[in-house]
Amino acid sequence: GENVEQHPSTLSVQEGDSAVIKCTYSDSASNYFPWYKQELGKRPQLIIDIRSNVGEKKDQRIAVTLNKTAKHFSLHITETQPEDSAVYFCAASELPGGYNKLIFGAGTRLAVHP
């Protein structure tokens, strides 16, 4: 069935370092890949997304890359700050057929130390 694997499960970095989180999806039909950030006790917030017709997308310190052949996509955070500390989830879905059925990875707990 549909599956999204996410690594690592925990990531600890020093402030100013880069952080990379990787995901692999199983369903070849997946074509939409959002990333969510969830701070403790809060709702998941969409931080960036990418569709399968592009290989990379950037938004300030955040970037996402997609390798459709390998079914991999990754989140890159540069110049990390303590407020980046949170759990990050990758997800995949098929548009339009899968509509809004997001299959989530297990999450990565990122800790940024001052």
Say whether residue 53 binds other proteins (CB under 8 A). no
Question: Which candidate, 13, 36, 35, 5, places its Cα nearest to that of 85?
Answer: 13
Say whether residue 83 binds other proteins (CB under 8 A). no
Binding segment (CB under 8 A) for other proteins, from list 10-18, 59-67, 68-76, 87-95: 87-95
To 10 degrees, the CA torsion angle through 96, 99, 100, 106? -70
Say whether residue 54 binds other proteins (CB under 8 A). no
Question: Which candidate, 101, 91, 82, places its Cα nearest to that of 24?
Answer: 91
Selected binder of other proteins within 34, 50, 73, 92 (CB under 8 A):
34
- Cβ 108 vs Cβ 21: under 8 Å: yes
Q: Is 72 left (phi over 0), alpha (psi -120 to 50) or beta?
A: beta
Say whether residue 5 binds other proteins (CB under 8 A). no
How many residues touch other proteins under the rule CB under 8 A: the total is: 24
Pick the closer one to other proteins by CB: 27 or 49. 49
Residues in contact with other proteins by CB under 8 A are: 32, 34, 36, 42-46, 49, 89, 91, 93, 95-96, 98-107
